[in-house]
Chains A and B, each alone.
Chain A
Amino acid sequence: MLHIKCPWCGWRDESEFGYGGEAHIERPKDPDSVSDAEWADYLFFGSNRRGDFRERWVHSAGCRRWFNAVRDTTTYEFKAFYRMGEEPPGGEQ
């Protein structure tokens, strides 16, 4: 069981949360103008990083707010939790 820190509610067990995949993927502003390849890249191709990975979680059994986290995909250790709209810690990936 992972322990996850909701930016509002604090530490809760994983069973209260839902997972939302990779964070900071921007939807194309004008979907009609992108090519099929660009659209497929947006939809299907994540960075699949080994190590620190920025990802989205939702506190579905609590305050029901989405937020971001940085988690090491090899150890499952969380490095940071931050609110939507906040800059991710650690700079560029």
Chain B
Amino acid sequence: MSEAIRQESPLVERITSGRKAASPSDAGITLRERPFLGCVNLRGNPDDPDFTDAVKGVLGLALPSGPNTVADSGDITAFWLAPTEWFVRTGANAERDLIAGLEEALAGQHIATNDVTGNFTTVELSGPHARDVLEKGCTLDLHPRAFAPGQCAQTLLGHAGILIRPLADGQAFEIVVRRSFADYMFIWLEDATVEYGGMAVSD
């Protein structure tokens, strides 16, 4: 007897059909998980055109060079993490092909690719109080005048390290969180949302 190995989101016990059905209709925020997205940590020298050109050829977009900025083509999202480091995200189960493409295009260069798909999950927060809730546990200024689409940041929410970017001016945010902190973050968000009518969970 053997069972097929099934991919499981770290939020599998939180985001249930019962929890979705019990979502308040006037919720202050709505949480939607995008589990299993392919995640690759890429290291290289942004001042070397051999590196940046080859990466652009594989990703179809240029790596963001400015600190705390993000480039997004729809299929691929590339977050700046550090002066020589990016978080490249692709569709579910597409990370192997992406890594193979990068390794081939960058052969012989001083670079590193690491499959970190299993480390993270992604959630989207939307709703009229998304920013209010996040600002209770994050010291960044998340107002669109300071944090607009195209920007991203690694910071803390509660005590959990997150990678966050605004999706629409002040109304929606995307958060990439470590697998082991996802459950904590979900509970923190539920608690922080009580005063705004609770948190809805959607597909």
Which residues on A are within 8 Å of B, measured CB to CB? 8-10, 12-13, 15-16, 61-65
For A63, the chain B residues whose CB sits under 8 A away are 67, 81-83, 85, 154
A8/B155 contact (C-beta < 8 A), A13-B139, A15-B139, A61-B161 known: no
Using CB atoms and an 8 Å cutoff, list the residues of chain B in contact with chain A.
67-68, 81-83, 85, 139-140, 153-156, 161
Rounded to whole angstroms, the CA-CA distance of A13 and B85 in the bound complex is 22
Q: Is the CB of A9 within 8 A of B156?
A: no
Taken together as a complex, chains A and B put the C-alpha atoms of A58 and B83 apart, in Å, by 14
Q: Is the CB of A64 within 8 A of B82?
A: yes
A/B pair count, beta carbons within 8 Å: 36
Residues of chain B within 8 A of A16, CB atoms compared: 139, 155-156
Residues of B within 8 A of A62 (CB): 153-155
Cβ of B153: which chain A residues have Cβ within 8 Å of it? 9, 62
Question: Given contacts A13-B139, A64-B82, A65-B82, are A8 and B67 in contact (CB under 8 A)?
Answer: yes
| Cα–Cα, bound, A10→B156 (Å) | 15
Contact of B155 among A61, A64, A65 (CB under 8 A): A61
Taking the nearest CB of chain A, how far is it from the CB of B164, in angstroms? 11
Residues of the A chain whose Cβ atoms lie less than 8 Å from the Cβ of B68: 8-10
Distance between Cα atoms of A65 and B68 in the complex (Å): 13
CB distance from A81 to the nearest CB of B (A): 14
In-complex Cβ contact of B67 among A9, A15, A61 (8 A) = A9
